[in-house]
Amino acid sequence: MASEKPKLEFLEEEYRKINKLPRLTKAVENLDKIIELLSAAREQVASASESHTAITITKLQNPVKTAFEAVNDGLKGAAAAHKKMGRALDKSFPLKPLPTDHDAMADHVSLINRAITMHLLREGQFSVASTFINEVQSTLKREDSADLDEPMEEDDDEDEGMDADEAASVTSSDNYDLSSFHSRELQESFAEMYNILQELKARNLMPAITWARNNSVELEARGSNLEFELSRLQFVWLFKGPSVNGLPDDENNGQRGALQYARSNFARFQTRHLNEINRLACSMAFAPNIAASPYKQIFAIDTAFSDVASSFTREFCSLLGLSAESPLYLAATAGALALPQLMKYTQKTLAKGTEWTTSNEMAFETPLPESMLYHSIFVCPVSKEQTTDANPPMMIPCGHVLAKETLQKLCKGTRFKCPYCPSEGMIKDARQIIL
């Protein structure tokens, strides 16, 4: 990271210089000015005599010429800024060949297609997703037809005598069927999610509250607090009044509207959220100076809408049996984070004449953010191997933890000696740790 700092500082300095150069906004403003001049001249010509038309056109020449010169200057400045930033990026981060000796996903094209389709549906790009599905299925059909047209070599193995239907089923058995994504019900579900998220971005909570109320049974079965979180935020949003929320200034807005909303909607949450409801009720007494009250954190909603949008997405997708984040987004982001270290590792191993031979395992730990860590891992301190379901971590009586296979290798009969302390124990006393 130390070597990257000067590069980033250089880019930051270049960006500050480039930021002072002309932008396309100036060129657009000048183009709008030209359009206004031409429109005004057209109206004058339409209502004037022939002699006045010539005068109007003559007067128009210099302003239009000046405006066009300003447009050209703006475009030149923007193009120069673009080129300068491009050269700075190329200088700081020159292109390097990617490590493509082994493509781990070459045999999983169907999984990639599925991830792309799901990502498009999540983003509300339904027509693009439909076109992509049709293209994938057409490609698969052409490949299947080409495979069936080729003469089959006779072998002495059990595949001999396979008919066309069996061959077709084998050819397509490894491919996920994307036709299910054409389901109108699935697309309508994602369209609903997309529309509700758009409303949340516009600070409109009611569509999300209605959805949570309609699915309250399923959400409560999951232990979700989404409906109350949305209703609580709606109370706060109404409490802030029309000067903040932009809603009509009537009896349904402001402190009066918030109190009325609480009376109508909070009764159903008393069993699980009585303390939170009491805090909201008590906050009304500090309405004149809520910023200096003990309840000021409740009314600090800078990130509240983005937080409930994330919660809504997570719960909506969970009811569909899907992950909260797009698998394609996660894979691409994790790959981008791991790529610099992977390239550096590959270059060093090639320079030493060695290579990493385990294709399904990374040679180092990828520095992922906490939000992308889904499963705890344990690496056995003796074998240096990551534990698995078949080889789980085991805690021995002295408190040290080893992989199960390591523990079995250490055993002499039914007893073993800890490799890290003088303690001895019996294998029946070891306890599996659930990560």
Which residues does 206 contact at the CB level (< 8 Å), separation at least 6? 199, 234
Q: 1 pLDDT exceeds 50?
A: no
Q: Which residues pair with 386 in a beta bridge?
A: 379
Q: Highest mean pLDDT: which of 2-16, 57-71, 157-171, 241-255?
A: 241-255
Q: Which residue has the higher pLDDT, 274 or 359?
A: 274
pLDDT at residue 276, as a whole number: 92
Nearest to 388 by CA among 372, 404, 365: 404
Smallest CA-to-CA distance from 143 within 180, 170, 162 is with 170
Dist CA 331 CA 372 (whole Å): 10
Token pair 């159903």 in the structure block, residue: 268
Whether the per-residue pLDDT at 177 is higher than 70: the answer is no
- Say if residues 136 and 113 touch (Cβ distance below 8 Å): yes
Residue 176 pLDDT: 53
Q: Is the dihedral of CA 305, 306, 311, 313 positive or negative?
A: positive
| Spatial distance between the Cα atoms of 63 and 74, rounded to a whole number of angstroms | 16
Residues 6+ apart with CB under 8 A from 101: 355
Mean pLDDT over the full length of the chain: 82
Provide the 3-class DSSP secondary structure of residue 249.
Answer: coil
| Residue pLDDT, tens place only, 144-168 | 777 666 665 544 444 444 444 443 4
- Separation between Cα atoms, residue 283 and residue 295, nearest integer Å: 6
Give me the mean pLDDT over the 274-278 stretch: 92
pLDDT, residue 161, reads 44
Take residue 176 and report the two structure tokens written for it.
């996920």
Q: Output the pTM of the full model.
A: 0.59
For residue 171, name the pLDDT band (cuts at 50, 70, 90).
very low
Quick check: 432 and 392 in contact, CB under 8 A? yes
pLDDT in tens, 41-69: 888 888 777 767 778 788 888 888 888 88
Higher per-residue pLDDT: 406 or 1? 406
Report residue 377 as tokens: 């891992």
**Beta 431-432 vs 415-417: how paired, if at all?**
unpaired
Residues near 112 by Cβ (< 8 Å), separated by ≥ 6? 105
* pLDDT tens figures, 286-300: 988 888 888 888 998
Confidence of residue 261 (pLDDT cuts 50, 70, 90): very high
Pairing of strands 393-395, 401-403: antiparallel
* Lookup: tokens for 1: 């990271």
CA–CA separation, 354 vs 346, rounded Å? 9
Give the pair of three-digit tokens for residue 117: 């389709």
CB proximity list for 234: less than 8 A, separation 6 or greater = 205, 206, 209, 261
C-alpha span between 241 and 255 (Å, rounded): 7
